[in-house]
Amino acid sequence: MSYVDGFVAAVPTANKEKYIKHASDAAVVFKEHGVLQMVECWGDDVPEGEVTSFPMAVKCKPDETVVFAWLFWPSKEVRDQAMPRIMEDPRLHPDVNPMPFDGKRLIYGGFSVVVDA
């Protein structure tokens, strides 16, 4: 069964091109380790909520943009086997590919696919 890792982050709007390069470089590594698809989305219609919202969840500041991303894996098993190797890959080391956003406000999680229509 397919598996998805999902991410939401607040990225300084001025760092959009840096973020795209960061994600593109990371995509090469993830695909080498079994990711079938990596999608990175730059928010352009992400409303503030009154109770909850993407901006509230990541404590998005006025000069930041919400990013929504996901990795599509063939299975949780493939993902679980690949993740330790991915995290050790020197191409993802912060000195080589620094995160152009505050990683402390990154929200992520793994999800089993229950509907794929």
Taking only the tens place, the pLDDT of each residue in 82-115 is 999 999 999 998 888 889 999 999 999 999 999 9
Whole-angstrom Cα Rg for the chain: 15
Using alpha carbons, select from 49, 11, 7 the residue that is nearest to residue 27.
Answer: 7
Is the sign of the CA dihedral 86, 91, 69, 60 positive or negative?
positive
Taking only the tens place, the pLDDT of each residue in 34-75 is 999 999 999 999 999 999 999 999 999 999 999 999 999 999
pTM score over 0.85 = yes
Structure token digits, residue 62: 């006025």
Pick the CATH number of 3-86 from 3.30.70.100, 3.40.1190.10, 3.40.50.300, 3.40.50.880: 3.30.70.100
**Do 98 and 12 touch, CB atoms closer than 8 A?**
no
CA gap 102, 47 in Å, rounded: 21
Q: What is the DSSP letter of 20?
A: H
